[in-house]
Amino acid sequence: MGALIVLTGPSGVGKGTLLRSLIQRHSELYLSISVTTRSPRPGEVDGKNYYFVSRSAFERMVANGELLEWAEFAGNLYGTPRQAVEEHIRDGRRIILEIELQGARQIRKNFPDALQIFILPPSLLELEYRIRSRAQDSEEAITRRLQRARTEIAAADEFDICIVNDDFAKALDRIETTLFAAAAC
Q: Binding residues for ligand GDP, per CB under 6 A?
A: 11-12, 16, 34, 38, 69-71, 73, 78-80, 98-100, 102-103, 145
Choice between 86 and 183, CB closer to ligand GDP: 86
134 binds ligand ADP (CB under 6 A): yes
In angstroms, give the least distance from the CB of 135 to ligand GDP.
12
Considering the complex, state which of residue 91 and residue 166 has its C-beta at the smaller distance from ligand ADP. 166
Q: Are 157 and 56 in contact (CB under 8 A)?
A: no
Q: Does 105 bind ligand ADP (CB under 6 A)?
A: no
DSSP state letters, 71-84? EEETTEEEEEEHHH
The helix (run of H) or strand (run of E) holding residue 96 is strand 95-98
Determine whether the annotation assigns residue 170 to a binding site: no
116 contact choice in ligand GDP, ligand ADP, none (CB below 5 to 8 Å, kind-dependent): none
The angle that helices 139-154 and 124-134 make with each other, rounded to 10 degrees, is 150
* CB-based closest residue to ligand GDP: 103
CA distance linking residue 128 with residue 123, whole number of Å: 9
The answer to whether 14 is a known ligand-binding residue is: yes
47 a known binding residue?
A: no
Other CB atoms within 10 A of residue 114 CB: 18
